[in-house]
Amino acid sequence: MDTAATTAAARQQPSADRPLHVTLVVGSNRHGRFGPVVADWLLGRLRDRDDLVTEVVDVAEAELPTSFEPTPEATAALAGITPKLARADAFVVLTPEYNHSFPAGLKNLVDWHYSEWRAKPVALVSYGGLAGGLRAVEHLRQVFAELHAVTVRDTVSFHNAGASFDDQGTLRDPSGPDAAAKTMLDQLVWWGRALREARGRWPYGD
């Protein structure tokens, strides 16, 4: 479920029953990145659910300067990103681990925005080597807390990610990741519904 028509129809439903609008943020822009393989699997889990409507923001496609100067180039890049974040009820952020943390490109995209994250839930999915990207996840929790976002408790992490998928990008053993994704997304839906209703009833303040 990710078409504009589906989104428009969904927003006519009562708030409690309306599918959540979720934006998946693909957080790696490194040359030769493994992220798209994990993102394709994750999109499959998201699109299998009737309670979610999904859009994607890919850091690799976001040509944002680090100066935070609103140049014409930055404005043009933000035009394709900011609306997807602003209309989201919730987020899933996919991150690798670089040097015990998350990528600079992902931090840059996060820092270009503020109100778009506020009072919304964020689910975190990571991949890497032995640590499975979990150190990047813990750093992201601190960042999103500062932005008044709520990170859900459970995550999905891929340890030695390259060996977890075959050459066609299919998980060799999907049982564990699929179960973990369901638990994480169930939590995201709970928080997403609760916070969407709360934002609709009471303005969120600092």
Domains (range + CATH), the chain: 4-201 (3.40.50.360)
Report d(CA 54, CA 90) in Å as an integer.
10
Percent of the chain residues past pLDDT 70, beyond the cut: 92
pLDDT in tens, 115-154: 999 999 999 999 999 999 999 999 999 999 999 999 999 9
Residue with tokens 């030695």: 160
Structure tokens at 1: 């479920």
Bridge partner list, 156:
125
Q: What's the pLDDT score for residue 127?
A: 97
Confidence band for 193, pLDDT divided at 50, 70 and 90: very high
Give 38-60 as a DSSP string.
HHHHHHHHHHT-TTEEEEEEEGG
Asked if residues 118 and 147 have their Cβ atoms less than 8 Å apart, the reply is: yes
pLDDT in tens, 47-105: 999 999 999 999 999 999 999 999 999 999 999 999 999 999 999 999 999 999 999 99
DSSP structural state of residue 28: -
Burial of 14 (0-12, 13-18, 19+ CB in 10 A): exposed
pTM of the model: 0.91
H-helix or E-strand spanning residue 123: strand 121-127
pLDDT at 155 over 90: yes
pLDDT at 7 over 90: no
Mean pLDDT of 166-174: 96
pLDDT at 6 over 80: no
Q: Buried b vs exposed e over 131-168: b needs ≥16 C-beta within 10 Å? A: ebbbbbbbbbbebbeebebbbbeebbbbeebeebbeee
pLDDT in tens, 12-49: 555 678 999 999 999 999 999 999 999 999 999 999 99
